[in-house]
Amino acid sequence: MNALVINCSPVRDGATEEISKIVSVCLAARYGVRSICIDDFRFHFCKGCRVCHKTAQCVQRDDVEKIMDLLDWAEMIVSVSPSYWADVPGQFKAFIDRCTPWCNTHEPHAALRPGKKGYVVALRTGTSMRECQHIFDTIEHFYGHLEIACCGRLGLCSVENRDDVADRKDEIMAFCDGI
């Protein structure tokens, strides 16, 4: 089985990347793992043209297809997202918007292979779990429209930088044991 770990942050050396690495290492003991950073890909904002509602394809040609190929490859997807003003980073939201051709709310639509499981790790610098909840809702909503079953979530508060992750490693590893 294959797992895809997505660093939803544009920061390649911060706390989100550190958590993504821990998740990847934990899962690699049991699965084939690929890890990506959303900022490794170049894509444009959705134009809102709705052509994909008729054709199941976006009129734009960029790296969204590469990410979707990786989502199709994996049986398990783990999205690791920091809180940017109580939501996912704009780069990841722009990617979500571009997934409309795969959205199950219109016909025709493209589709991923069935049977996928999705997991979410949300982190924030503050102490309230409320922002993590919003991130869970955003990503699980996205998963739902791609017909990825939501199977688990982990919220991590008081994580401001990569040094803060060391104190949470056992918690992250325990979460991975359930995947």
pTM: 0.97
- Collapse the DSSP code of 109 into the 3-class scheme (helix H, G, I; strand E, B; otherwise coil) and give the result: coil
Domain parsing of the chain, residue ranges: 2-177
CATH of domain 2-177: 3.40.50.360
| CA–CA gap between residue 79 and residue 122 (Å, rounded) | 8
Q: Can you give the pLDDT at residue 98?
A: 98
170's tokens:
């056992």
| pLDDT, mean of residues 127-135 | 95
| CA–CA gap between residue 57 and residue 54 (Å, rounded) | 8
Percent of the chain with pLDDT over 70: 100
| CA–CA gap between residue 106 and residue 167 (Å, rounded) | 44
pLDDT tens sequence across 50-66? 999 999 999 999 999 99
pLDDT tens sequence across 17-50? 999 999 999 999 999 999 999 999 999 999 999 9
- DSSP annotation of 63 reads T
Q: Can you give the pLDDT at residue 166?
A: 97
Q: What backbone phi and psi angles, to 5 degrees, belong to 43?
A: -150, 165
Q: Can you give the pLDDT at residue 8?
A: 98
73's tokens:
């490859």
pLDDT tens sequence across 89-105? 999 999 999 999 999 99
Q: Can you give the pLDDT at residue 114?
A: 98
160 pLDDT tier (thresholds 50, 70, 90) = very high
| CA–CA gap between residue 3 and residue 14 (Å, rounded) | 22
Q: Can you give the pLDDT at residue 64?
A: 98
Summary mean pLDDT of the chain: 97
Extended strands (E) in 110-179: 117-123, 149-156
Q: Residue 2, Cα to own-chain centre: how many angstroms?
A: 15
